[in-house]
Structure 1
Amino acid sequence: MARQAGRHFLQIPGPSAVPDRILRAISAQTIDHRGPAFAEVGRQALSGMQSVFKTKNPVIIYPASGTGAWEAALVNTMSEGDRVLMYETGHFATMWMKMARKLGLEPEFIEGDWRGGADPERIEARLSADREHAIKAVCVVHNETSTGSVSPIAEVRRAIDAAGHPALLMVDTISGLASIDFRFDEWGVDVAVSGSQKGLMLPPGLSFNAVSETALEASRSARLRRSYWDWEDMLGPNANGYFPYTPATNLLYGLVEAVAMLHEEGLDHVFARHARHGAATRAAVRAWGLEVLCRRQGQESGVLTAAVMPDGHSADAFRATVLRHFDVSLGNGLSKVADRVFRIGHLGDFNDAMLLGTLSAIEMGLGKAGVPHRGGGVDAAMAALDGRQEAPAVS
């Protein structure tokens, strides 16, 4: 292939592009993970993640993808045959449900339409009907990466409490953490799951469980088999900055740098930036005459926007056109919306000029691919960015 000048635009909804500062941190020489110098790296990484999750509770770091952290959340708290209530917000909620079933649990799936987040009222109604408290956990995806919708986690916790139900609240915030607001302690989350390759701006390879005291207590009587994922094995060495097995040392270097960058900008500014870019992107999509997949105002994501293609037009063929002509990678549709939507990632180390470059490539790509659309999407995004039109509410 002929070389393409310039930098590739990785505009999938994760992995996000890795900033040069983090790449330089990762490139440092590996050190002895049993030696005294490593303890400071470990302590900084662990305490830094507490600040990002907004918790005083333990955060456990695994050398794994987010899927591993899903499994860790379940096997540490559940026993075979336990019932878990899950909500169908999209592809990733469905995958977590399938994992629960494979592990010997009995997931109950509240059906959703993939157009918004979890409905706390439906969760409360189901828990209120569970008078024997057979349901042991409620599992919800915070930011559903397949659809661009956000679930109101604080409202889900209020729904559990209103039902007077003891179920644990487990939240997948793999793509939400460090991009949109997440408050582990304040929202009463029991287990939160996340990964390194989204808002944390790292390559894939680290995953996280933030764990409440209630969840730790549940883990002491849980009977699903676990070894690699066992929280207790991790917590002892973690207290001194170490790990029970070989950690991903160089990714931990990068994690320490990523947390520093987030706090230098300020988490509230990070969240506002993502919300602003989400609003501008939705303005562009609607100006083109396309439909935003998430249709519940206030639940639209600042992490990504999923755009629905006109009938008879392939989202994958369009994505291929944009990649070929403009060296921009867009996210594909998954499972129920495969080839029907394309996803625009606007997360991580990302600014206004980068967003406008991405949207310009998409607008030109719509023309090259012969997709029916109106012009003016980039203009609409610029108007939203400079405040010339009111931005929609963003969760």
Structure 2
Amino acid sequence: MATVNIRRDVDDKFYRYKMPVLQVKIEGRGNGIKTVIPNMEEIARALNRPPTYSTKFFGCELGAQTSFANDRYIVNGAHTGDRLRELLDVFIEKYVLCPSCKNPETELVITGKAGHEDIHRDCKACGRQNGIDMRHKLVTFILKNPPKKKDKGKKGGKKGMTAEVNVGGPLVFDKVESGSDNADEEGSPVVSPGANMGVPTSGTDIDAVLGKSDPILENPDAAEAVTKKLSKLEVNGNGNGHANGDADEDDDDAAGSPWGVLRAWLIDNTDASDADVVAKIKDIGVVGKHKVLLEVGQHLFTDEVVAQLPKRVNLLQALVTSEKHQKSLLGGLERLFAHSPSSDSLIASGAVSKVLMVLYQGDILDEELVSQWGTHVSKKYVDKETSKKVRKSADVFIKWLDEADDESDEE
């Protein structure tokens, strides 16, 4: 593999600090297009930084969602290798090089108490300690995911973010204990009731829990056509990819209000095309509002949500453009599970985990957000007991997500 100097401003071919040339691979099409960095782990190893840091830095700088699992480091959208290499140089300058001696022999060290942490670069070459810019968005990610020391004596298989394990054989889950020490907005962490609520436990095959279905439409041409229709309808609000905002969102739920009209239409038109749904949202005048996702999540789907959702991935990718949108979509789906005529059997069947898998694989839900949602009970959308049941049913997916992250970090 071709290598370059870590400091690209150094022309000396005998410069000792080198890294692989960053490679990119564009995958997908339309709203599902993404940029994969196949050799991010090799680059990260040369920089002595977790590969998630540089990937997340790209996302922060480009305003794009990122995901990392199974040796795949992904930035949503199509980005050129030259652009990402420029950003990698910035990352190296900000988080790797020692400002004093300009050597990359540094480690990130976090000091201070919770809420008052500080991060600095500890240089092994000159012994100096230099701080980093604590105002950058990446700092929050680093504090939540501090550098971990590798356990050289521990070896294990890798878990991918698909429904199958990449080392062969079915992926098996241990029993999930969902207790948490962190209180939510209501002050109540998720608890694990003793009663079996239908969530698969030890010895459960993931294929039986989450299924093998790919969330992307089976017909690529149909998916592309839907994407083109959605882009023509300017689903994000103003034609340049940005939503109109939610500051003036109308909370009036009366039958004649925009939300009452949208709700009634969705209930009567669950089979409507994606383009028709977007056209109705535009016609009502609520484009870009996060509450649109609350109504869509609750009323566009039925008890058959597990089968229906994969066909709506393109629509949801177009509608979900912010963290608020993601939270509202989860709230709507939570209400769907709570108010369904077959609520108990639907929750007990593991449908929540299956739905989360589809949304995660479709890059609709952010990993950090869905993990936090899964471990914090809230009565914002449903009563507290129902909220516990829904999250209990999601334990399988949340546990799998956390363990996949942990193993990726260890490797």
Bin of the TM-score, shorter chain as denominator length: under 0.3
Bigger CA radius of gyration: 2
Which structure has more relative contact order (CA 8 Å, sep 6+)? It is 1
Using structure 1 for the length normalisation, give the TM-score.
Answer: 0.22
Structure ranking higher in strand proportion: 1
TM-score for the superposition, normalised by structure 2 = 0.22
